[in-house]
């Protein structure tokens, strides 16, 4: 009898996730929260082993939604329903809420952006105007969610444009051109009565719209890495954008061992009366030995500083990689 199959079986067994280690650390992190909750899911893309904490609960995505949006756009490109070379004229009437490089660069005159440029801006730097333009091109948020379901992507809902979502969840009465700059947005926000802002935050945290489950997001990440959803060229394009992204350096990336790479998408809500609706990071980590892990971490309704929240996400990533023996 050959010992080779036995050797590889033992090797895979030795590389299994130490779920007790992860669970203990995640529970300790959640116990340290004064407010809010944490959702985690991880899949070892080598062995297929998965683990989750509040994995089927819904968490606000914030800009994490731009990753499934990017997948939907590239699926449409693969099916020749749209082209990356199509140019869309962007004028003042198309500007959404910050953060937006397009808004910051706007000089008062319409200029064209290709679909490829909008994809880079939406997924790579989290540009809200780019995301809203892509949502419009795709027929709106509900059409994107329906496409994702047809692709076998579940547990993820895209329901609102950024110019609607980001206004509603802080208690502003509606979108207007003042809200296209950070200064204008903050000025308008300062005029929202505290009780209205508090009520808006509570409603947002209970709203199933624009949410994802950790399990659903990790399934999306695993499927993307394994080539389930997109053509090889589209898959590589999206993973390149995600890997080049410089957002959230103190989140998942900060918890990975030196020499790792991360293809990821962050999401961050505004802090209202000391509570942050969402601060998230989801991605595919490649460890120095080549092992790949799909990780999703969502924090919802938490108090404390941004530094503290980001450190929690980094510590989850550290727990996950420690559980593998970093092989």
Residue 16 has a pLDDT of: 81
Residue 12 included in any domain = no
Residue 203 included in any domain = yes
Kind plus residue range of the DSSP H or E element containing 31:
helix 19-31
> For residue 115, what are the domain limits?
18-323
- For the chain, the domain total comes to 1
Residue 125 has a pLDDT of: 98
First to last CA, the chain: 28
Question: For position 160, which CATH number holds?
Answer: 3.40.710.10
Residue 260 included in any domain = yes
Residue 110 included in any domain = yes
Residue 232 included in any domain = yes
Residue 195 included in any domain = yes
3-class state of residue 86 by DSSP = coil
Interaxial angle between packed helices 66-78 and 141-150, expressed in degrees from 0 to 180 and rounded to the nearest 10: 70
Residue 2 included in any domain = no
Residue 10 included in any domain = no
How many degrees, rounded to 5, is the angle at CA 212 between CA 263 and CA 198? 115
Residue 109, phi then psi, degrees to nearest 5: -120, 140
If the chain, 327 residues long, is cut into consecutive pieces of 10 residues, what is the mean pLDDT of each piece?
A: 43 68 96 94 95 98 98 98 98 98 96 98 98 98 98 97 97 97 97 97 97 98 97 98 98 97 98 96 96 98 96 97 78
Residue 15 has a pLDDT of: 61
């Amino acid at each position: 009898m050959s010992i080779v199959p036995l050797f590889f079986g033992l090797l895979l067994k030795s590389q299994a996730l130490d779920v007790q280690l992860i669970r203990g650390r995640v529970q300790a992190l959640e116990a340290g929260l004064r407010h809010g909750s944490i959702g985690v899911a991880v899949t070892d893309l080598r062995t297929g082993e998965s683990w989750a904490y509040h994995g089927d609960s819904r968490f606000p995505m914030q800009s994490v939604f731009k990753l499934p949006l990017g997948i939907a756009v590239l699926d449409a490109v693969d099916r020749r329903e749209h082209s990356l070379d199509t140019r869309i004229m962007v004028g003042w009437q198309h500007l959404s809420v910050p953060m937006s490089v397009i808004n910051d660069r706007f000089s008062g005159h319409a200029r064209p952006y290709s679909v490829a440029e909008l994809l880079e801006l939406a997924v790579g730097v989290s540009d809200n105007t780019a995301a809203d333009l892509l949502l419009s091109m795709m027929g709106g948020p509900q059409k994107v969610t329906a496409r994702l379901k047809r692709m076998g992507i579940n547990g993820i809902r895209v329901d609102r444009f950024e110019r609607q979502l980001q206004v509603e969840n802080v208690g502003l009465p509606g979108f207007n051109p003042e809200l296209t700059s950070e200064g204008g947005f903050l000025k308008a926000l300062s005029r929202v009565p505290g009780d209205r802002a508090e009520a808006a935050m509570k409603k947002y945290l209970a709203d199933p719209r624009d949410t994802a489950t950790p399990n659903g997001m990790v399934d999306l990440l695993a499927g993307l890495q394994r080539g389930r959803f997109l053509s090889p060229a589209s898959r590589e394009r999206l993973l390149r954008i995600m890997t080049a992204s410089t957002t959230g350096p103190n989140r998942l990336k900060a918890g990975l061992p030196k020499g790792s790479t991360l293809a990821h998408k962050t999401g961050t809500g505004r802090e209202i009366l000391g509570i942050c609706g969402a601060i998230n990071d989801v991605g595919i980590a490649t460890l120095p030995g080549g092992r790949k892990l799909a990780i999703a971490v969502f924090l919802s309704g938490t108090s404390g500083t941004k530094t503290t929240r980001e450190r929690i996400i980094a510590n989850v990533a550290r727990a996950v990689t420690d559980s593998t023996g970093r092989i």
